[in-house]
Amino acid sequence: MQYRTIGTDPKTRREVSVLSLGAMLMGTLTDEATSFAVLDRYVEAGGTFIDTSNNYAYWIDGSQGDASELLVGRWLRSRGVTDEVVIATKLGARPLAPGTGYVENGAGLSARAVREQAEQSRERLGVERLDLLYAHVEDTKVPPAETVEALGALVGEGTVGLLGVSNHWTWRVERARSLAAQAGLPGYEVLQYSHSYFRRRADLPGALSVDGDQGVVTGELLSYVREDPALTLVAYSPLLGGGYTRPDKPLGPAFDHAGTRARRTVLDQVAAETGATVNQVVLAWLIGGGIPVVPLVGASSVAQLDESLAALDLELSAEQRGRLDSAG
C-alpha cells in the first residue's frame, strides 16, 4: 500500500492510503457479512481511508440514510480498529424525513444543522471525533460565513479533525476558504468530486443548478488543486459504476462525445500492453498523475476490491501516461 498525508495542521493531519474505500451501499445493497469481509480485506491490505455519509443510501431503502454509518460503526467496534483507520463522512444532503430527497428537503449547512448532523454521525459511527467531515452539497440559502464558523467551531472543540467539501462550485470553495482564513478558522483541505479518465461533461444541468453539474472535476478545479499543495483531491466514482467494463452499465449522455471514443481506444491499448484490466489502468492513471488523486472505490465483493488493490502495483511508463493524457 502507498500513503499520503492529508491536511497541514500537525494536530489534525492524517496519513491515509492512496486508495480510499467507499461504504455507500454497505448496509443496503451490500449485506453486512459481505461488507465486513470487504472492510476486513481492505485493512488487511493496508487500507486506512474509509468514506461514508449521513445520507447513504436513502434512495435505496426510503430512509434518511442511517445504514452506511451504522454499519461502519458496528465494524469499527467489532474489529477494534478505530485509531488505525481514517473515517470520512459528510453532512448537508441528508433528507429531513424518510421518503424525501435532499434537493427538496435536505438538512443543509446552517449552523444548527451542521452541529446536529455532526453529533448524529459521531453517535452512529461510535467515535469521539470525526476524522474528516465534508460539506456534502451546496446550501445557497445559508451565508457561507455561517457554515464556515459552524464547522470551525467543531474543529476547535475537538469533535472534528479535518474539513472537506464535495459538489460545490470552485468559486464557492475559494470563498469559504478565504472567509475561514480571514477569521483564523480551519478551512476545507480535502475536495471530493466525480473524476475519472473519461471526461464527464460539466455543462449539463445538475440536480442543484441549471448552470451545470458542480460535482464534476473541471480544468478550473484541477488548476486550483495544482496551485495549492494544501489541497487533496478525492475522486468518487473513478470506475464509473462499472461503466468501463459492463455493457449493462451505459455511461449516458454526459460521456457521449468524441473525447470518450478517443480515450477508449488508448485505454484499451494500454491495458493490453500492461496485461492489466481497464479499471486498473484508470486507477493507476489517477494515482500517479501530475496532480495526485485519491480514487474512492466501491466494492460489493472482495474480488472487486482485490482488482482495485492490484492497481497499486501497476506502473505506467512515461510514454503510456503521455498517450493517455493527450487522447481526446
pLDDT in tens, 103-117: 888 999 999 999 999
**What's the pLDDT at 281?**
98
Q: Sorting pLDDT into bands at 50, 70 and 90, what band is 2?
A: very high
**Residue 154 burial (CB count, 10 A):** 21
Q: Sorting pLDDT into bands at 50, 70 and 90, what band is 53?
A: very high
- Whether residue 285 lies inside any domain: the answer is no
In whole angstroms, give the CA distance from residue 78 to residue 328.
47
Name which of 197, 194, 195, 218 is nearest 321 in CA terms. 197
Q: Tell me how many domains the chain contains.
A: 1
Q: Sorting pLDDT into bands at 50, 70 and 90, what band is 257?
A: very high
**What's the pLDDT at 303?**
97
> Is 208 a residue whose pLDDT tops 80?
no
Mind listing the pLDDT tens digit for each residue in 219-242?
999 999 999 999 999 999 999 999
- Whether residue 264 lies inside any domain: the answer is no
In whole angstroms, give the CA distance from residue 4 to residue 18.
6
**What's the pLDDT at 202?**
86
Q: Sorting pLDDT into bands at 50, 70 and 90, what band is 192?
A: very high
> Is 274 a residue whose pLDDT tops 80?
yes
Q: Read off the pLDDT of each residue in 177-186 and give the average, rounded to a whole number.
A: 98
- Whether residue 277 lies inside any domain: the answer is no
Residue 238: how many CA atoms within 13 Å on its side-chain side?
Answer: 27
**Claim: this prediction has a pTM higher than 0.85:** yes
Q: Read off the pLDDT of each residue in 267-290 and give the average, rounded to a whole number.
A: 97
Q: What interhelical angle do 111-125 and 67-79 show, nearest 10?
A: 40
**What's the pLDDT at 83?**
86
**Residue 256 burial (CB count, 10 A):** 11
The C-alpha torsion from 168 through 169 and 172 to 178, rounded to 10°, is: 100
- Whether residue 51 lies inside any domain: the answer is yes
| pLDDT mean across residues, the chain | 96
- Tell me the residue range of the domain where 102 lies: 3-253+291-316
Q: For residues 104 and 141, is the Cβ–Cβ distance under 8 A?
A: no
Q: Which SS3 state, helix, strand or coil, does residue 25 take? A: coil
Name the DSSP letter for residue 106: B
- Whether residue 282 lies inside any domain: the answer is no
The beta-strand segments (E) located in the chain are 3-6, 14-17, 20-22, 49-51, 86-91, 130-135, 160-166, 190-194, 232-236, 293-297
In whole angstroms, give the CA distance from residue 314 to residue 295.
15
Distance in angstroms between the alpha carbons of the first and the last residue of the chain? 31
Q: What is the CATH number of the domain that holds 206?
A: 3.20.20.100
Q: Read off the pLDDT of each residue in 177-203 and give the average, rounded to a whole number.
A: 96
- Whether residue 63 lies inside any domain: the answer is yes
Residues in the chain, overall count: 328
- Output phi, psi for 270, to 5 deg: -65, -40
> Is 195 a residue whose pLDDT tops 90?
yes
Name the DSSP letter for residue 311: G
Three-point CA angle 32, 234, 59, nearest 5° = 45
The β-bridge relationship of strands 3-6 and 160-166 is unpaired
Name which of 115, 133, 122, 126 is nearest 14 in CA terms. 133
- Whether residue 55 lies inside any domain: the answer is yes
* 74: Cβ contacts below 8 Å, ≥ 6 apart: 32
- Whether residue 37 lies inside any domain: the answer is yes
Q: Using omega within 30 degrees of 0 as the cis cutoff, is the peptide bond preceding 57 cis?
A: yes
% pLDDT > 90, the chain? 90
